[in-house]
Structure 1
Amino acid sequence: MTAGTRLPGTPDPMHIWPGAGGIRIAGDAWGNPDGPLVVLQHGGGQTRHAWGGTGALLGAAGYYAVAFDARGHGDSDWAGDGLYGQDVMVRDLECVIAALGKHRPVLVGASMGGGTSLVAVGEGHVDATALIMVDIAPRIEPEGIDKIQAFMTQKPEGFDSLEEVAQAISNYQPQRVRPKNLDGLVKNVRLGADGKYHWHWDPRMRAAKRDLERRQQRLEACARRLALPTLLVRGGLSDVLSEEGAQEFLALCPHCEYVNVTNAGHMVAGDRNDIFGTSVIAFLGRTVPVGAEPVHPAHPGRAPGIEAGEDINDVP
């Protein structure tokens, strides 16, 4: 099941990988497959296309960058059972890594994708070489989450035109210049049988259980267990991750490096891809250099005594 018909001009995925339960996961890749693997996971309501600029930069720097649409998003399948909890997202990530040859990856995750990455590493599901969290941490601001929810649930009946879609995005991201050419919006929506434009994601995600207190407890436990090189990137204008929330994460993971990107909101990579890409490549050059062994040795396996938390949805 999908949101409707893909519009002409929507980029076809370069790859299709099997996810948990046989769901199809759509993705793109940049660079040499022999380079260090960097897996990019987007936030709720986004697609793999959010990483296009970052993926190209990483590929040009010698890394093999892979971005995929989370289940229920973009060109990936919707979940037949309507389940989009954190644990099943981690299992999808494991499936994609296995399909890529089980290389030890760098995990880069924004918002929802960052929560998935943190759980994958902190609970021993994925033996990563480094972790990059983008505008997400255990403590987040409810007001910012409410704003995202309001954006994602507006116009359930669909939009009459791409102009309406552009206005909705502009209202949510006023710091960005509204594009004059609307062709780039085709990958964000699908054309329904009703002739309306609908967002590309499964609306059942918004009805899933969300418990921010339980989420924070689980992610704090994961943060305390981190031993690999870690980078936290915050958007200076973000209303989701506050400076206080960032500092709490740094206290939980004292070896973590920190970059605050001024003039960027929650969608850091999209707002200031130049600064974001430069910061990521500089960090990886020290921790997972191209043509050399990563500084973090392979982990022998899942850490003993770590149990998965309750499978609640992470934030978008």
Structure 2
Amino acid sequence: MVSPVENPDRLSSVLAADGLKLAVETVHPAGTPTLLFAHGFGQTRGAWTATVAALAAQGCRCVSFDQRGHGDSGRNRDGGYHIEQFADDLVRVARAQPQPPVLVGASMGGLLGLATAAEASPPPYRALVLVDITPRWEAEGVARIVTFMKAYPDGFSDLAEAAERIAEYLPQRRERKSGEQLRPLLREGADGRLRWHWDPMLLDMVRESERHQPRLLAAAANIDVPVLLLSGGRSDVVSRATVEEFLQVAPAVQHVELPHATHMVAGDANDAFTGEIARFVQSLDQPVARRAAGNP
């Protein structure tokens, strides 16, 4: 049986408004500042493993969680998922921390962070790191992701087959995921097949995602905490046009492009990605003006 649980001694939970349990993992609980990691659509907290380990080793308190319908967190009983549920969940996890965290949000996690940073009072985060996401995005890139997510409804016969399919989807990666790396991403069904860790009903949310873009642009204009945008130079979800629009609406946002990364920034260029987060976090305590976007 493939188990999605890793590091059970680090696990806790936060209750959502509807009573659903959100699986939360804390590394270096005595550290400071607190960094809260919110993964993208179809991912789990496991997407941050290498970054969390590196930043915890530098003294940060690192908290990651599985969003509802993903990983070890509960699934909606009625099968329907709504963006407001995810937004409220994120704020609840942030408010459960000993101090407002720096939120690191990838894709969907970043959009939720952007919206709630501008709309919640008081702001639930000290600062934001948005990972390859802007208030408006490229529809073709999202469609490619969703196509892959829909591609294997019957799952995989074993971990090797799953690794092969992922390698085809991410040809830029030099190394394939090992069996141990894949275990948290899959669940074994009663038929012995391995299927993704997320609820297939989540895919219905994609249909309504673009209607939230005006709200997100308004949030960007009203953001009142430091923001770093980390984009992938080879991303098909974020483009030069969507980045420029974001920076026009929110000119105080710092932007760093990692030229060799795709939308999967943390996995494609983890050392550079982690280094940029560390520099940004350190800059929050500096009394001098923050560094110009893209400069060391």
Question: Could you tell me which residue of structure 1 aligns to residue 100 of structure 2?
Answer: 104
Judge conservation of contact 1:10–1:186 (CA < 8 Å) in 2: no
In structure 2, C-alpha distance between the alignment counterparts of 1:285 and 1:8, rounded to whole Å: 33
Contact 1:37 1:106 in 2 (8 A): yes
Aligned residues: 286
For 1:99 and 1:238, locate their aligned partners in 2 and report how far apart those are by CA, in whole Å: 33
Instruction: State whether structure 2 residue 280 is matched by structure 1 residue 287.
Output: no
User: For each residue in 1:196-218, what CA deviation from the matched residue of structure 2 results, as whole angstroms up to 9, or x when unmatched?
Assistant: 11100000000236334422111
Name the SS for the 1:81 alignment partner. coil
Paired residues of 2:231 and 2:238 also in contact (CA < 8 A): yes
| Paired residues of 1:111 and 1:134 also in contact (CA < 8 A) | yes
How many Å separate the matches in 1 of 2:278 and 2:85?
Answer: 29
Matched, 1:190 2:187: yes
The structure with higher relative contact order (CA 8 Å, sep 6+) is 1
Listed as ranges, the matches of 1:32-43 within 5 Å are 32-33=29-30, 35-43=32-40
TM-score (norm 2): 0.90
Specify the alignment match of 1:20 in structure 2. Answer: 17
Contact 1:41–1:67, Cα closer than 8 Å, also in 2: yes
- Checking the alignment, whether the CA contact within 8 Å between 1:237 and 1:265 is kept in structure 2 is yes
**Equivalent residue in structure 2 for 1:179, among 145, 163, 176:** 176
The whole-number CA distance in structure 1 between the counterparts of 2:269 and 2:251 is: 26
Deviations 1:168-197 (A, max 9, x none): 211211101243742321111100001111
Q: 2:293 maps to which residue? A: none
Residue type matched to 1:119 in 2? A
Identity %: 40
Q: Which moved more, 1:115-124 or 1:156-165?
A: 156-165
**Counterparts of 1:147 and 1:8 in 2: how far apart (Å)?**
26
- Tell me what 1:140 maps to: 137
Q: Is the counterpart of residue 45 in structure 1 residue 42 in structure 2?
A: yes
The question of 1:67 aligning with 2:98 is answered no
* Secondary structure class of the residue paired with 1:250: helix
For 2:229, the aligned partner's letter is L
- On the 8 A contact 2:70/2:198 being kept in 1, the answer is yes
Preserved contact between residue 4 and residue 71 of structure 2 (Cα < 8 Å): no
Measured after TM superposition, the shift of residue 10 of structure 1 is 5.0
User: What is the CA-CA distance between 1:32 and the residue it aligns to?
Assistant: 4.1
Deviation at 1:275, TM superposition (A): 0.4
1:255 is aligned to 2:252: yes
RMSD: 2.0
Match status 1:276 vs 2:273: yes
SS at match of 2:74: coil
Counterpart-to-counterpart distance in 2, 1:129 and 1:87? 21
Matches within 5 A, 1:69-218: 69-101=66-98, 103-125=99-121, 126-179=123-176, 181-208=178-205, 210-218=207-215
* Deviation at residue 62 of structure 1 after TM alignment: 2.3
CA deviations on 1:50-100 (whole Å, 9 max, x unpaired) are 111111222222221101011111111111132332211111112222333
Greater CA drift, 203-212 or 129-138: 203-212
- Show structure 1 runs of 5+ residues with no match: 296-316
Aligned counterpart, 1:309 = none
Q: What residue ranges of structure 2 are gaps of 5+ in the alignment?
A: 291-296
Instruction: Report if aligned partners of 1:41, 1:109 keep a CA contact under 8 Å in 2.
Output: yes
Query: Taking structure 1 as reference, are residues 105 and 196 closer, same or farther at Cα in structure 2, changes over 3 Å only?
Result: same
> Relative to 1, partners in 2 of residues 1:62 and 1:134: Cα closer, same or farther, differing over 3 Å?
same
Note if contact 2:4-2:185 (Cα within 8 Å) is conserved in structure 1. no
Structure 1 counterpart SS, 2:109: helix
SS in 2 for 1:21: coil
Instruction: Output one character per residue of 1:125-172: Cα deviation in whole Å (capped at 9) or x when no partner.
Output: 543211110000111111111111011111112212222211221121
Shift in alpha-carbon separation, 1:16–1:288, aligned structure 2, 3 A: farther
User: How far off is 1:34 after superposition?
Assistant: 5.0
